[in-house]
Every structure is written in C-alpha cells, then in structure tokens.
Amino acid sequence: MGVLVCSVLVLALVGQSHSYSVRNPLDRFKRFEEAAWSDPNDCSQTRQPFVLSNPYNFSLDLRMPRVVPRESDSYYCLAVPVPTSWEAYVVDFVPHASMDTAHHMLLYGCRTPYSTKGYWDCGTEQGTCEDEAKIMYAWARNAPPTKLPKDVGFKVGGDTRITYFVLQIHYGDVKNFRDHHRDCSGLTLRMTSKPQPYIAGMYLMMSVDTVIPPGNAVTNADIACTYQSYPIHPFAFRTHTHRLGKVVSGYRVRNGQWTLIGRQSPQLPQAFYPASNDVEVKYGDILAARCVFTGEGRTTKTRIGGTSSDEMCNFYIMYYMDNKHSVPYMDCMDHGNSNLFRNIPNEANIPIPVSPDHKMSMMHGSAHKDGEDDSVLQQPKREEEEVLDQGAHLEELDGWPEVELQLGQVSGLALDSDDNLVIFHRGDHRWGVNSFDNSAIYQQKSLGPIQQSTILVVDPVKGNVLKASGRNMFYLPHGITTDKDNNYWVTDVALHQVFKLSKDEKEKPLLVLGEAFKPGNDRSHFCQPTDVAVDPETGNVFVSDGYCNSRILKFSPEGRYLSDWGAGSVDRRRRVPFQIPHSLAFLPDKRELLVADRENGRVQCFMADTGEFVKEIKRDEFGGEVFAVSYAPVHGGLVYVVNGESPYGHSAPLQGFVLNYSTNEILDTFAPDTQKFKMPHDIVVTKDGSVFVGDAAADSVIKFVPSERAEHRSVKKGGIEVQEIEETETFVQANLKPIHKPLEQSPKATVQKLPEVQEKKPVPAQQEKTPEEKEKEKGKIANKASAQGLSPGVITTLLLLLPLVLVIAIGVFIRWKKSRMYGDGHEVKLEPSGSSGGLLGKLRGKAAGTLNLGNFFATHKGYTRQGFDRLSTEGSDLEKDDEDATDSENEEYSAPPPPVSASR
C-alpha cells in the first residue's frame, strides 16, 4: 500500500513539473527574481515575475532591477519576452510607480528590442526597439490602474509581431535619488490564453511641431486626421503634457457635429480615464484634438521634445474593435485644417479646475495660481479677425526694374547688409540635357567660363546695377548668399565647387571648397552643390549637396569640415532621404537651418549647432516640389517658399507661399499678374517686406510688395514727384460715410500681417486710357455714387472739386484733338491695372485705373516717360532715355543670346 501511495505522489509531481515546463518558462526570467512587490522604492521584497493562477490565466511582472538614475531626464528601458510562444491577451495593467521617482512610464511591444540583457539607457540613439515599437500602455502622475472592458484584450505573441514587452521609464529629477535608494518601478500584466472577441488598440494623437512663444497667454496645438479603417469603440483616454499644458480635449467629428471622447487637465494624474461618451468611430469620421498651452513665465520659446524643459501634446485613445478586422495600433500627427477648428466646442478652451490637494510637486508639475480664472481662456484671434490687423497680400510691382537688365538663367538671389539685391545668373550658358553625363561630369568645358558678369548688385527700388563682377570664373552658377561682411558665397554645379568671393571684386577667390570638375561624396568633394548659408554669429558655412548627394555639410569659416547630415524625421524608421536639397535659409532668431528638399516637396528644419532635426513643413498646395526657401524674423517667423513643376504629374499652380513658422499655416500665396511663373528658382525677402523671385526659365527677376504699397505709390516723373492715386479709390473714399465699427471680415480670408512698410518705393506710371474709356468709367462711377446717396459734406466736397474736374476735362479734350490730328497711326497702349489686395481693392473692382494724372502729365512736353518694362533678355518695345543707362565703374555686363534649352 505504501508503495502505491509513493508511486501516485511521484506521478503527480512529474505531471505538475511537466505542466509548468509548458506553461511557465521561468528560465527566461532568472534575472528578474529579485523584483519588488508593490512599493517601487522598496526593492527588498522578492516575488516570482511569472505567476500562473489557472491553466488559462497568468500574470507577468516587469520591474526595473534596482536602478539609480545618474542624471535628470534619464530614459531607462527593460525588455521582457512574452512568456508564451502562442497568442495571448493582456487584459489588465497594474502600475507600480510613484511621482517621487518616475515622471512617466510607457509599455511597448515589438519583436526586436535594442537589448535583452538587463536595462539600458534608451534616451540616446539606441531607443526602445530596432523594429517598429507599438505602444500598449502609458502612465504618469500616480495614476490608478486601467481596467479593460469584458472580452477585450491586447493580443501579443504568436504572429502579432509582439514577442517582447519593453518597459520605458522616464526619470525626471535626479535629486529624488539623493538618499541613494534604488528604484523598482514597473507594471504587472494580467494575461490570458483564451481568445478574446474584441481586440484592444491604441490611437495616439500627437503634435510634433508646436512652438510656444514666451509670455503668450494661450497657444493652441491642434491635431486632426480622417479615420480610414474598420469601426472602433473608444473606451478610455489619456492626456499628456508637461507643466505648460492647461487642458487637452479629443473629439469625433461627423457631419460637422463634435462629440467629446475625453477632456482633462494634464496637471491631474495622467491616467487612462473612461471615455466621456459611448461613441463609435467609422470610416470617414474625423478625429480631432487640441492642447492648450500658456507661455507665461517662460523667457524663451518652448518646443515639443523629450526633456523637462520641453513640452508634449499627446492624446491617447484606447479602443476596442472586432477581432476579425482588428488594427491594434494607429496614430495621427497632422495639424489638420484651420477651418475645422473654428467650430471646436468652447469647452476645449476652458481649463479643468485642479485643487491643491491634487497638485503634484514634481518638477514637471504646474503650480496653481491663487485666484486663477477658470473661465474661457482668451484665445488668439482667428484668421478672419486678423485680416485688417495683420497686413497685406503680396502683389507684383508692375514695371520693376526701371531699367532693362541683361540676364541669363537666374539661378540665385541674395541680399547684402544694405538690402541691395544680389543676382547670380548664367549669362550665355544654359543648363541643358547634354550638360552632364551619367557620372555628373560636365560635358561643355570647351565653351570656357562665362564671359559676362555673373554677379550683379542691384538697387532694390529702381533696379539699376550698382556693381557687376564674376566674369570668366563660372560655368554653371547655382546658389548664392552673403555673409555679415558682404562677401559672396556661391556654388557652381559644373565645377562641383563652393567659392567665397570678396565684396571688393577681387579676381582671386578668398576660399575654394571642392575640386574643379571632379564630383565626389567625401569631405573634400561635392557633386553639383546647390546652395550656401552662413551663420552670422559663428561664421560657420552650410552647403547643400546637391543633385547627386543627399546631404548637408557644415564647415568652419576657414573651410574646415565639421559635420554632415541627411534628411530628418520624427520617426526614424520612416525617414525619407533628401531628393535634391536645393535651397538653404538660416534662421538667426531660432538658430536653425531651413532646407528646401526639392523633389520631396517639403522644407525641413534643423538645429544649426547640432544638425538635429526639428520639424518638417509640407503642404499639399506645394504640389510635390519646393524649389527655394527664405525667411523673415517677424511676427514669430515667416517662411517664404516657391514651388515647381513636378515630373510625376502632381503639380500645383506655380506660385509663392508665405507660411507661419510655428503653425505651418499658409498665410498668403502670390504669383505675377502680367505673366506666369515658368521656373521660380530662388526667393529672398527684404527687411521692408518686399519679395524678389528669380525665374530661371524666364531669365528674369520679379518683385512683389505688400498690397498697400501697390495701391498708393509715389512716382517721380521728370524731376517732379506726383502722388499717384487711382480715380476709383478717390471716389470711393469721398462717397462712403466714415465707418467706426469693425469692418466685416470674409471667413475665407487667411492673410496675416507681413513686415512693416518703411518707405514707399517709386514705381512706374500706368499706360494712359483713351478719352472715350475715361468718360465711360466716370459715368459708371457717377451712377454708383448717385445710387448710394450723398451726404451734405460729400456734396460740398464735390462742388469744390468741380473746377479741378473741369480743367482736367479740358486737358483731356485737347489731348484727344491732338490724337485725332496725328491720325490712326498714333498708338495708345492699354494695360490692365494690377489687382489690389485689401478692402479698397475689392471696392474698386473693374474700375481700377480710370484716371492717371501721372500718365496725363507725362504725355506733355517737358515730362518724360521712363522705361519700366519687365526685367528680361527679350528686349522692349519702349525706348529708354539715355539718362537711364547705368555707367558702372565696375565690370561691364552684356546681353546673353536668346535661350536655347531648358534650365534647372
């Protein structure tokens, strides 16, 4: 009998051992046996990391192995394998952490963590996983456990691509470890092997490029994406910012109706809270979120980033969906359409009251001010409210330059310290299909260098040449910039070189980088370099290289190589390399470098000191190609770009764009009125807000000015200055009663203030209209005036003006009689007047340009009409006065022959 009992006991022990060998591979967790139980700051207690409660259910502990962070803002990671080789489901999370030690904690799932031995510093280049890391859970600020609904679980193991859990903990202030205690913070995962009918997932909405100006009471970070998958059911949400966040809200938008998913103060425990409404998100719905920040108390700009001095804007949606169509992880990082957020519910702008008992003393916390007003935060003006306050639409300045310039393909533009325009052009050389072979070696060396002056310094007001240089030096010029000493930095794509040239026009370059006619990709060679930018503070030089290479190189002022880098990305796994980094702009107020990535149709921003990627500006309106970028440090930063025609059939209209640096919003678009852009190749903006665009295919430079300067301009004719105001503007102002209330805004207007106008620039007079047209236009305006009704003051004004009108009418009649005497051969040119932005431009309508006193007087003896034809090598129908010729003491420049091939 005793033998029988012993045999049964032995068999039971063997069976139990066999069962645990299948269900519980503890040999994978030996290094975690010394794990904490509940108190993350007490690592003295021990427990098993893997606990099997029944044949189907088990739990897994993930704990930091007694770590001591050595510096603030440390990120430590720990990888633990999924304890089964088949599919399993995480049905609950139990956090073990405290704000006394950990700032926040994230759980990821992946196949290949960066390390499987102990913990590692994952705040450096290593990161969390070598493959794509999928977020499963997030915790911060003493959060309570999150409960998943019944029959819902996160699927792991098997073929889910999640074979490892990676726990990441951000330790904020290292001062909390001054007592040398060790930390065992972590999570307990409750799991089951039973298939769940519904699969849990995470939808992360995150702002990646918000900038919070110092002192601003309110800054909004908006995120929105159109949902394009099977229905999901949000059941929990989490908000996350650092100390500047006031309130974070998330919504489903369907047919214009906003339904709240969750809204919370990020200064409260940043747990997963139950969704505010039982909503379903279907294909075509919009998911939208807003974070409201304040910059009060800050003295510098705050950006999105991983340190405690940076900010974050995250809205997590935990959802479930049917097992058959499950997509467990999705994200949204688009800022959405500004028109959408005009209808966001007012509650999104109201901070959540937080009692002092719930405040956290962690360095990332935000102290509640006594008497803080919890009413609606004063939001910034919407775009339609900013139209009159914030400036003018850019319009072509018709008739600039006043003298004809002889140009070839205009490849580069720059400004010197006096805001004079510097033009870099190719003279009689053209970039054609036969210019290079497949190895990027120049094939037309036999033509010799360009004999014309390739660098012209031009007066930005009148367009006459002040200096000319650069003869017999270049083969195919491309980019140009100036440094603080007004030296020129230029690139030549045929020579594969970068040159520093003296402002004093010395023949020998001050510095040459690269080897002539020899392309390469090492530190001392370029391959068709495109542009140069110079840091005015350090003198460091940045080169975009180029058509063959996809990189940015950084050199010291003496030409010593410092570093280089390629394209950047928020997600390194989805990084898209440069495709022709074509243009550079240095941001002195932000110490950043803008790169126009031509074929990718985007602008990328990098820290000038480190080359670290900051943000990307990419808009559908660009149409796939961005040729050039410029920058003005006004109104928080304005970015100017010009687009190009895409060879892939996704082209948008060729035009210029003005964008808000912080929000990436398009504030204005502009294009010439008298012709179309052919190949806008470079762009610069002056201190007074004037914009110059060089067109490589049209061999021209076009000037744009804010509309108020186009509407009212001062013109000098024959030594007498005449204030030129179009007739319709005068009549409108005379007949409209004063309006003291705010003018009605158009909801479609998106124009923001451009740089202030310092002075009015002289521009050409418009062509005179025939007397018949003048009488017809005056009749139309008179009818409008009578229909509106006249006040006594207006009638008095008209009576006083009547003698002047009579004198003008007599003069017009005399002029008409003379034209009849000269016969039909006397040609009178009629040109449409340029469109005017702003309110007056809308009121003038088609009647603009009715009466032009400047043109009237200019047709009489003793006054001259100077030539104001467009800058071009095609010549002009108008004769130029001898006094307009520019006798420069510098090199002469001559006209190149007509174009023969396409350009780049």
**Binding site for Ca(2+), residues?**
413, 682
- Which residues contribute to the annotated binding site for Cu(2+)? 103-104, 170, 240, 242, 312
Which residue ranges are tagged as binding site for a protein? 426, 547, 598
Cβ atoms of 156 and 107 within 8 Å: the answer is: no
Is residue 368 among the annotated active site residues?
no
Active site residue 104: yes
Confirm if 693 and 682 have CB atoms less than 8 A apart: yes
Spot the catalytic one: 191, 205, 312, 679: 312
Taking each helix axis from N to C end, the angle separating 792-822 and 727-735, rounded to the nearest 10 degrees, works out to 160
To the nearest 10°, report the CA torsion of 895, 898, 901, 903: 40
Q: Which of 96, 105, 136, 168 is catalytic?
A: 168
Joined together, the tokens standing for residue 806 give: 């009579």
Q: Is 103 a catalytic residue?
A: yes
From residue 337, how far is each of 342, 344, 616, 663, 667 by CA, in Å? 9, 12, 17, 11, 13
Give the whole-angstrom CA distance, residue 329 versus residue 315.
14
Q: Output Rg (C-alpha) for the chain, integer angstroms.
A: 35
**Active-site hit among 64, 99, 104, 766:** 104
**233 in active site:** no
Catalytic residue among 96, 242, 335, 425: 242
The three-state DSSP-derived secondary structure of 479-546 is EEEECCCCCEEEEECCCCEEEEECCCCCCCCCEEECCCCCCCCCCCCCCCEEEEEECCCCCCEEEEEC
Residues annotated within a binding site: 103-104, 170, 240, 242, 312, 413, 426, 478, 547, 582, 598, 681-682
Partner residues linked to 154 by β-bridges: 90
Torsions phi, psi for 486 (to 5 deg): 65, 20
Residues 6+ apart with CB under 8 A from 616: 209, 568, 569, 570, 602, 603, 604, 605
* Active-site entry in 96, 105, 136, 170: 170
Binding-site positions for Zn(2+): 478, 582, 681
| Closest-CA residue to 683 (of 754, 626, 630) | 630
Taking phi over 0 as left and psi of -120 to 50 as alpha, with beta for the rest, 771 belongs to alpha
Q: How far apart are CA 289 and CA 312, in angstroms?
A: 13
- Burial status of residue 432 (CB atoms within 10 A of its CB: 0-12, 13-18, 19 or more): middle
CA distance to 166, 325, 409, 574, 740, per residue, from 132 (Å): 12, 21, 47, 10, 60
Owner of token pair 């510097």: 422
Contact residues for 194 (Cβ-Cβ < 8 A; gap 6+): 56, 89
741 burial (CB, 10 Å; 0-12 / 13-18 / 19+) is: exposed
216 in Cβ contact with 331 (< 8 Å): no
- Residue 127 has which token pair? 């990161």
* Chain Cα centroid distance, residue 461: 31
Which position has the token pair 């998943």? 148
Active site residues: 103-104, 168, 170, 240, 242, 312
